Every structure is written in C-alpha cells, then in structure tokens.
Amino acid sequence: MVHRYEGTNPLVIAWLAAKVVYEELFPLVAISLLTWLSLLLILPGPPALAALHEVLRRAAEGRAIHVGLWREEWRAAFRTSWKLAGLSLFSGGVLFANVLFYGRLGGGWRYVSVAFIWLLLVWGLTNVYLWAVMAVQDESRVLILFRNALYLVLLYPVHTLVAALLLAVITLLSVLLPILLLLLPAYWAAFTTILVRQFILAVHRRS
C-alpha cells in the first residue's frame, strides 16, 4: 500500500494502518505470532520488535513482505535493539525508583515524586514511538533514537495522547476478542511507524 496522505491526524493514520495490515494479512499473522513468541522468550524480544516495525515500514511503502524478511531483520537488529531496550529499561527504572524514593519521604518531597511521575508518563509515551523511530530513521546510535522519539512526543503532545488512547482501546478490544491478538503486534507497528513517518515528514516540510 502506498498512501498519499500528508497529514498527521492519528485517526486517519489508524485507518491507513488497518488497510496495511489487511492487505498483508497472511504474512503478518505469522510474523505477529513469531513476535509474540519472541516476547515470551524475552531474549529474542527486542530484535523481534525492531524487525516487526521494519517489516511494517516496508509494507506501508507498498513493498513486498514475507516471514523470511522478518528473520533477516531480526538478525540485523539484534545488537542495536538490545542496546535500545536496555537504555529504555534503565531510564524507566531510574524514574520509577525516584518516584518511590521521594514518595516515601513525605512533606514537600511528594511534589518531587509527582514530577517524576510526569516524567515517567513522558517516558512511557516515548516508548510508543521508540521502535518506529528505529525503523524509519537510518540511525544506529541508541541515544539519538531515544532522543528523537522523545522529541516527537514533546513536539506533538496532543497527537501522542490521542494515539496512545487509540492503541489502548485497540489493545482492550484485542483482550476482549482474543482472535485479534493474532494481529495486535502488527497493527501497533503499522500505526506507530506510519505516524512517526508522517511526523518526520511534517518536521522536514517546516524546515
């Protein structure tokens, strides 16, 4: 699928993502199952997410995809994806530890704890874009990837909140209708990858 939409409306992106997934339904069922299995096994999880987003980036561009492509991208992304996952987990752990630490002190320190709660929320929203940024941008330095994902959250806060709400609703529907879990990873990847691409194109048009 090649779309000509140039905007950044998450609702439109949600529809485009659904079309991408529908048009590549059969390979994406297999790829999503492999991604779920990789996440359950933990060690192959980060490269599986990176490979999934790269596959969906290609699908959104109208290029052919197949399970073999996912395997190739899994191998290629192993080291970088684990560095990125490690950075994300470490930064999230530090923020969470600060929430607990300052929350226990009481008094005025509770306001510091609230500030870290907000930072933890921003961290969570940054992770929504993290793997999509890795797929869309030709960049292997994980600090820059994380920074760019954070930049998109801060540049498009309303879009990001709407996107997060849409993904939460879709995830809830998938839990209620377990058959949808077969394609949940693929849909997440399609949605975030297309959205990140549109954000980056919009930023380039402004500059």
Question: pLDDT (tens digit, 0 to 9) for every residue of the chain, 207 residues total?
Answer: 556 788 999 999 999 999 999 999 999 999 999 999 999 999 999 999 999 999 999 999 999 999 999 999 999 999 999 999 999 999 999 999 999 999 888 788 889 999 999 999 999 999 999 999 999 998 889 999 999 999 999 999 999 999 999 999 999 999 999 999 999 999 999 999 999 999 999 998 887
Distance between CA 135 and CA 147 in Å, rounded? 15
Provide the whole-model pTM.
0.94
For the chain, the maximum distance between any two Cα atoms, rounded to a whole number of angstroms, is: 59
Distance between CA 87 and CA 142 in Å, rounded? 8
Which residue ranges make up each domain of the chain?
10-206
What is the sign of the dihedral through the CA atoms of 43, 177, 9 and 191?
positive
Q: 101 is written with which tokens?
A: 């630490």
